[in-house]
Structure 1
Amino acid sequence: MLALGLATVAGVVFAGATETGRSINQPVPSSAADTVPTSLQHAEPTSAAESTAVRHGRPLVVAFVVGTSGTIASDLLAPYDIFASSPAFTTYVVSDVASAAPLEGGPAVVPTYTFADVDADPALTPDLVVVPALTHPTGATEAPLRDWVTRQHDDGARVLGVCTGSLVLAATGMLDGLDATSHWSRISALESDHPNVHWMRGQRYVEDGSVTTTAAVTSGVPAALHLVAELAGPDEAQRVANLHPELRWTPTQTTTIPKDHFAVHDWPVGLNYVMPWFRPTVGIALEEGVGELDATAAFEVYSQSAAARTVALATSDTVRTRHGLVLLTTSFTHATGLSRVVVPGADTADAVDPGLRAWADAQRLSLEPLTGPPGPDGSAGEGGFSSALQNLAAHTDAATTSATAKMIGYPTSSLDLGNQPRSLRPILLGIVSLALAVLVGLAPTFLARRWRRRGLLPANASAAASLTDTETVNAAV
């Protein structure tokens, strides 16, 4: 009886976790390779900064690798926004193949180049390689990526491993003998699997020689700004950081962070993850020229919270970001089953594309801008992860939002998480699952009694079965 009940609970949890994991990935259309444009190499106009880091008379080249098995969207897009915002750097996305690369927690991205393209053109040789977390970091499918990153490092490139991108680097042996960090939930396993690396807890990022590794997801942003400061100067890094005032970053910012671990108060996200049924579906509308950091923050927050499914919306099947990346989207005219729509990079509903506004009005969907109003001095409004987390808090509760922020490594001290009541959906589903487990566990006893009453089972059958089980155990002893 107990075994059946436990098996039922395990089955529900497994099914829920599988569904949540599946829904994190935005689908990649099978026809995408033949129909979408390529992401562009980006170089910011040089007049935007007072100083520019150069090598051999050109801006420094930053290559962002993406895997064929899947890449964590925020680990790629958030640091990309930082480096691409500075004229000190030329940026591009590179993969083993030219087809659209799936991103976990975001829409697929079209690479700028393949590894073969970069190897064939000396002008594309990277000075810095950014390695995001991959879905299968040590799998055979990502062997070409690991080999390419190793070759670039051996040839003198610096390397930035974002979050569990450290698993990729550790698998190459690149981190042996170095200080390094990773997402707090993975460090214990990494200490066991890679004992030659000095794994450090409680650090936003760790730089050891030419290799920098970061803690949880959003730590890739301050690590990128730190490298901008090193390579292009602290003034240029501060200028870029000021484009995202919610970061409150300065060159002297401490790298010390809490030494996090799983705790009881993280249960809202855990329950959301294993009880995904009847979740709302949030459309994330991406407009042409949307900033990469603003775009990915909304997907990351809702994916990590597991509080809602997300769909990448645009006026067509693709959108080009502020710095030239092509993301695969769903045309809003083909989107169904949405609960509401959020718009990264927009500070008011009037700033949203008129066609999207008209469609949302016809569908009776609310449009929620995810960027605050500009400052009194005309500075950019606060957006990014801060706005996304506050939007989550407005639709769930403070506990869910705090646990989500902890998972992505984002500080909440400056956020107003409100006092919304607990979300009842996952709690009610959990109660229903436990009730189902109890019913399944009691079913054999109930059926046996029913069959005895109908004469289908001898009255002493249950006792005989019990006696036989006891004799079997005694014989075994």
Structure 2
Amino acid sequence: MTTPHVEEPAMTGTESRKSRWIRRAAVALAALLLPGVVSAVNTVGKFGDLYEARTDSVAVAPAPRSHDPDKPTVAFLTSVSGTNVADLLGPYEVLAGTGWVNVYTVSADAPVVPLTGGLDLVTDLSIDGLGRLLDERGDKLDAVVIPALHRPTGAEVTAINAWLRQQSAAGTLIVSVCHGARTFAGSGLLEGRPATSHWWRMAALRRDFPGVDWRTGHRYVEDGNVITTAGVLSGVDGGLRIVERLLDPEAAREAADRVHWRHYTPGAPAPLPESRLEPRDVVVAINSSYQTGPSAIGVQLVEGTGELELAAPFVSYTEEAMVGRTVAVGDGPIRSRHGLTFVPRAADAAGLDRLIVPGVAAALQRVAGDEAFYLHQKEEFAFDPVLRDIAGTYDVRTARWTAKTLEYTALDFELTGRSWPWTATLVPVLLALLGAACAIVVARFLRRRTP
């Protein structure tokens, strides 16, 4: 007996349209998936851990310091998990450069701490060690500076909070720089008080600390023995305000001139335009994901380099511009201009795309030969040549984004270079087309094999 043939019902118009929409959605998903995967891999690979801890042990003593009980004393807090290099070194150079302040870098209990972008600092003292030193000298702490700390451990947070509360009760001036306001707020000492921070962080801070009166529009906010600064380079203004309060306005004016900060406003915070994300700021996502320029950057450590000169490349190319990852290069520990000790991670620039040498003195001496790029060719604010180099080496839009995230809004010099990272922008477009083409080919192949 012959089995009767049963015809499959024809696909209805609704089913046909649904099938077409599914195919189109699959193609669109494939088009987005490939550039998305490449973006994630590149971003995590280059910028996943800007505060990566050393894998070797370092036994280097900090530079010896003499303590003068007739001078005010300022402590700069750091974290074993990482500390923002510009938040720390900007106000540090402002204060140390006066010669009239005892300055110390301290940690809860870590002799070597990572700073942004692969620069390691040998701290001067532990928090307890500073306390013992001051007790021995019959002295007190006049100010504490809190830079942005990168995910401090639970034990650190407990120790830091207890110490900050102790200092606040003693009337010590406490100053946070940029996202250091999160650590400050976490201690409870900002509750009910006005404060500020980096514009990028403000929404999360308002959510997590609703009892703080978060404000924008000024370089710093001052309330009694509390000062909080806006983002990154506002720490220079915060440092100058500390000089005003601990010394005098003339010392602050001299300090501003010494570091070539052209935006000092005596006795009051300068106004700061309120920044927000704009469509053209997508440039940072393009850079972090598809940057085609030099991305492995060595930074040569040279004895006597200024602290701001050191901070400028380590934070700008990495955390701000996101065009590359830096590594400290040198044949051993060095002392900065005002006595901080830094330890390199690489002996030379082998395998790197580029070697940058910060510092005016290093440029004059050509310490790394003629193939290196000497960042600071003349006396000027240390971040100015970095922004010019980012514009010339990468593009102007990236340099302007970098200035925006540094909160360096009053640029009074020209940036020249390509207007936009066009080559890097083309990469995700080509990847999307490739992903869509692969999806179409696979779909047609499967349809042909379907009976």
Amino acid at match of 2:376: L
Q: Is the 8 A contact 2:35 2:432 kept in 1?
A: yes
Q: Is the 8 A contact 2:298 2:326 kept in 1?
A: yes
Which residue in the other structure is 2:339 paired with?
Answer: 324
SS at match of 1:312: strand
SS at match of 1:220: helix
**Separation in 2, partners of 1:161, 1:251:** 19
**Separation in 2, partners of 1:42, 1:167:** 32
1:429 matched to 2:405? The reply is no
Q: Is the 8 A contact 1:163 1:220 kept in 2?
A: yes
SS at match of 2:42: helix
Which residue in the other structure is 1:370 paired with?
Answer: 376
**Separation in 1, partners of 2:254, 2:420:** 40
Q: Is the 8 A contact 1:177 1:197 kept in 2?
A: yes
Render the CA deviation track for 1:231-280: whole Å, top value 9, x for unaligned. 21111111111112253424267521111011112122221123357643
**Separation in 1, partners of 2:35, 2:346:** 39
Aligned length: 421
Aligned pairs for 1:76-87 within 5 A: 76-87=88-99
Q: Is the 8 A contact 2:80 2:152 kept in 1?
A: no
1:150 matched to 2:165? The reply is yes
- Bigger RCO of structures 1 and 2 (CA < 8 A, at least 6 apart): 2
Shift of 1:412: 4.4
Shift of 1:66: 0.4
**Separation in 2, partners of 1:181, 1:25:** 24
Amino acid at match of 1:94: V
1:21 matched to 2:47? The reply is yes
Which residue in the other structure is 2:3 paired with?
Answer: none
Which residue in the other structure is 1:267 paired with?
Answer: 282
Match of 2:385 among 377, 387, 390: 387
Render the CA deviation track for 1:331-365: whole Å, top value 9, x for unaligned. 55x32123333322226844232xx22xxx5xxx3
Amino acid at match of 2:54: V
Amino acid at match of 2:175: L
Q: Is the 8 A contact 2:305 2:362 kept in 1?
A: no
Shift of 1:139: 5.0
Using the size of structure 1 for normalisation, the TM-score is 0.81
Amino acid at match of 1:104: T
Amino acid at match of 2:278: A
Q: Is the 8 A contact 1:298 1:384 kept in 2?
A: no
**Separation in 1, partners of 2:49, 2:155:** 24
Match of 2:351 among 337, 349, 352: 337
Amino acid at match of 1:147: A
**Separation in 1, partners of 2:437, 2:150:** 38
Which residue in the other structure is 2:148 paired with?
Answer: 133
Structure 1: tracts of 5 or more residues without a match:
44-53, 373-380, 453-457, 460-477
Q: Is the 8 A contact 1:371 1:383 kept in 2?
A: no
Distance 1:212 1:339, change over 3 A: same
Q: Is the 8 A contact 1:70 1:101 kept in 2?
A: yes
Q: Which 10-residue stretch deviates more, 114-123 or 295-304? A: 114-123
Which residue in the other structure is 1:473 paired with?
Answer: none
SS at match of 1:160: strand
Amino acid at match of 1:133: A
**Separation in 1, partners of 2:417, 2:218:** 31
1:72 matched to 2:88? The reply is no
Which residue in the other structure is 1:306 paired with?
Answer: 322
Q: Is the 8 A contact 2:391 2:415 kept in 1?
A: yes
Q: Is the 8 A contact 1:102 1:108 kept in 2?
A: yes
Amino acid at match of 1:401: A
1:159 matched to 2:183? The reply is no
SS at match of 2:277: coil
Amino acid at match of 1:258: P
The two structures, once aligned, show a CA RMSD in angstroms of: 2.5
SS at match of 1:120: helix
**Separation in 1, partners of 2:326, 2:265:** 33
Which residue in the other structure is 1:38 paired with?
Answer: 62
Shift of 1:137: 5.2
Query: Percent of pairs identical after alignment?
Result: 30
Q: Is the 8 A contact 1:67 1:142 kept in 2?
A: no
SS at match of 2:99: coil
Amino acid at match of 1:101: V
Distance 1:434 1:141, change over 3 A: farther
Which residue in the other structure is 2:16 paired with?
Answer: none
Shift of 1:7: 4.3
Distance 1:180 1:335, change over 3 A: same
Q: Is the 8 A contact 1:136 1:142 kept in 2?
A: no
Render the CA deviation track for 1:185-219: whole Å, top value 9, x for unaligned. 11112112111111001111111111111111110
Render the CA deviation track for 1:157-194: whole Å, top value 9, x for unaligned. 11110000000011111101110001101111211211
Q: Is the 8 A contact 1:109 1:328 kept in 2?
A: yes
Which residue in the other structure is 1:120 paired with?
Answer: 132
Which residue in the other structure is 1:352 paired with?
Answer: 366
**Separation in 1, partners of 2:438, 2:403:** 37
SS at match of 1:188: helix
Render the CA deviation track for 1:91-129: whole Å, top value 9, x for unaligned. 011112233101123501111111221233324742101
Distance 1:392 1:447, change over 3 A: same
Using the size of structure 2 for normalisation, the TM-score is 0.86
**Separation in 2, partners of 1:111, 1:389:** 29
Q: Is the 8 A contact 1:118 1:125 kept in 2?
A: no
SS at match of 2:360: coil
Distance 1:249 1:442, change over 3 A: same
Distance 1:175 1:402, change over 3 A: same
